[in-house]
Chain A
């Protein structure tokens, strides 16, 4: 096992001029322990929220995880939660818990930008379903987190408002696209966060930042009220310090939504309360295609060790094959960009968002608003997708990609005939340096090589910490489940956490 570098067991120390009262330290809490202490009234939501806001104020100059900090709203939500908790009438176990939202979640009255100039001053008139569900359960929203523009990217460097930095090494990317949410959880700026995952956008930053990230089954959580990237691939999911936190959030988020025709009506299990430390008779499959040449050796060794841990807990392990995995990235970049080119057509400067000034006719209004409003990567994907859907090219690109997508899905179906979960690394490497892949889109696209197939197949997948590399950077373990098999994933992840303590690591106080 590699040495655990930079590990601080007791959280951050800070000098307090107020002296007598020990301040709440968010990094010593998990979502579940915070919720428990709120319920027992050992802590107030106001205290938790102030601690989060203070932590944000202290660390943001270095991390830049947030695009908007909604301190006033958070304080009034916390006060309302405290009033309910004082009456003994909490709305849920999330009542009063400070959370952060990727800035693609529409929040009524709070600016939502998708990290794009084109929505720089857009204030939504409505809450999306995921936000509404958390709000109805009493959650406190401390702010909106940075991400790649329109969730397009793997490093959060494509944000129109500057990169987010990895708290484990400020010269490295946090992963993307939901980088800000992963960082906010890793750096103790909140107790949990929401992201979206279209090709790995929750799992990759979770792996790079050493937190737990869950991409649920397509349709498990409503997509209503998230800024769309690729409709058939996008899925909402949680970040937390540990599996239990992710389970609590999923339980709040999951379920059919009449406003999303692609949301599933499958029953929602009690994800959090059914977690058990024992693994039971789990059949684990190891896809050989996911351990490829060029993988960082420490990533492979950590994941192999994790598989050994699962085996020691009673799992049976066998090798499986996903023969079409190598086509996944190409397939994804046709389907996702095609859908994106269509979904982003509405940003035309007419009804809301940025409108170029001084245009002399309609065409100019369109082209200049979009020229000024969209960043380079978004434009690249709109052009790719427009091409893929063009008359004469549709069959060769979009049509073909849909066929390959079916083959990718079938690979998984066959693998799942013999096992319950698949285990793989979340990414081939640990976090890369800021700027390293910015000028090489293909290299950037390949960061998602191990996460993308899951979106094409619509499956759930969990990323959780399973080690660190020689530089002390976190390594992510990816568990992939059957459709609506979140419970099995969370169960396996939870049992793994009970046997290891990778999830207890925290980045050193950034200085």
Chain B
């Protein structure tokens, strides 16, 4: 049991530091290790877990299910800590470093340069996700209408997302 927990911790903490651009980057490697190397679950189970966890924020939460299947609740906790711990520590260290340089002229320049990049990435990621295979015409319509409603009106996002859910549930995908 302890050995399994250690394996879980080791595997996910390495993946945590490799997940550039978010968890999606390491999914193939996660599948290979959990299914082919450790034989913790079958390919089919991995796909099911992916489907189950996809709508749950903040991404990469499939690790909870893999941990749970492998070593129960303890496995789930260890997997969660291992997946988010190392990258969070790194984020913390970088944030600290950033704040220590407060007031420097070059930092203000860098911050101003960062703004349009972050804005571009925000919009671009939305478009990139929408362009995946599953996004059919109805889903595109919902995305476009939501984009317009939420950028032009003060409607509550939950109301709009609920509306999107109802529309697609009624029309059937």
On whether the two chains bind one another, the answer is no
Q: CB within 8 Å of A: which residues of B?
A: none
